[in-house]
Homo-oligomer: A and B are copies of this chain.
Amino acid sequence: MHGSHAMNKNRDLDLLDRLADAASDAILPHFRKLPGVVNKAETGFDPVTIADRNAELAMRELLAAERPDDAIFGEEYDAVAGTSGRTWILDPIDGTRGFMSGLPTWGVLIALADESGPTLGMMCQPYVGERFVGGAEGATLTHNGETQPLRTRPCADLAEAVLASTGPQHFEPQDYAAFQQVATRCRLVRYGTDCYAYAMLAAGQIDVVVEAGLKPVDIAPFVPIIEAAGGALVDWSGQRIGPTLPHGFAGQVVAVGDPTLLDAVLAALRAA
């Protein structure tokens, strides 16, 4: 039993890498097309949309061949039902605004969930060549063929914390007022982070992420990555996000690298 369990885990990890390879191959030809090399056949059609859709189709094709019994919940196309109790959650390009602007801050997000929520997740940045992976075996970053463990850093005081969020323009006014209550108490606020915010929290470089208006696919892989790295991921009321995914997620996220910081962040959000 234990051997077959371990073998399935390895097969999942292997498939995760192959899904990321397929998505990367579909996306990279469309990234940062310089004006001199625009493919005229694509005039009038958004290269982000093409890259996004082609990458999700490539991943769905691989899943249909390899895991016909698993469900699929993706960003671009309708959900596919399954019989195994397991669901693949796909966001081919998270951070499309960063992608559109040519910045290396977007990522391919892939998670595998069961009835308890996401148990395995990956963020892949194909241009930089990075893969952040988390699951029961722990959390790791692979870059240039080298793999190292991811661990969040201690930060017991909000006044010492680095806070990240994609941008003030992504909050509703009331949510922004709550975010500001956290921001004014932190040492530093960093915007424009997209999925890198959660990856860098897992890597011990950022202490707090506060966001709202997210979709399930935006956050699913970071549940196993951040929890395996030592952090916590909850909604603004303090409930764990994992069990709400891929359905029933209201879009509000608080992630902390040091779980002892959670009460201070939630209290600041309530102070608005």
Contact = CB atoms under 8 A, between A and B. Distances in A.
Contact of A34 (B101, B162, B203): B203
A98 interface: yes
A103 interface: yes
Contact of A153 (B35, B104, B141, B204): B35
A103 B105 contact: yes
Q: How many copies does the complex hold?
A: 2
Given A203-B32, A204-B34, A103 B148 contact: no
A47 B102 CA distance: 28
Q: Which of A127, A141, A148 has the most CB of B within 10 A?
A: A127
A128 B98 CA distance: 15
Nearest to A168: B168
Given A34-B150, A192-B190, A164 B206 contact: no
Given A128-B127, A189-B169, A100 B34 contact: no
Interface residues of A, number: 39
Nearest to A31: B205
A206 B128 contact: no
Given A128-B127, A151-B35, A190-B192, A103 B204 contact: no
Nearest to A205: B102
Given A34-B150, A128-B127, A151-B34, A205 B164 contact: no
A148 B196 contact: no
A77 interface: no
A200 B101 contact: yes
Contacts of A97: 188, 190
A152 interface: yes
Contacts of A35: 151-153, 204
Contacts of A173: none
B192 A193 contact: yes
Given A98-B190, A101-B193, A102-B205, 20 more contacts: A34-B141, A34-B148, A34-B150, A36-B149, A37-B148, A97-B190, A100-B188, A101-B164, A102-B206, A103-B105, A103-B190, A103-B193, A103-B200, A104-B104, A104-B128, A105-B192, A127-B128, A168-B168, A191-B192, A192-B193
24 contacts: A32-B203, A32-B205, A34-B141, A34-B149, A34-B150, A35-B151, A35-B153, A97-B190, A100-B205, A101-B193, A101-B205, A102-B205, A103-B105, A103-B190, A103-B200, A103-B205, A104-B104, A105-B105, A127-B128, A167-B191, A167-B192, A169-B189, A190-B192, A191-B191
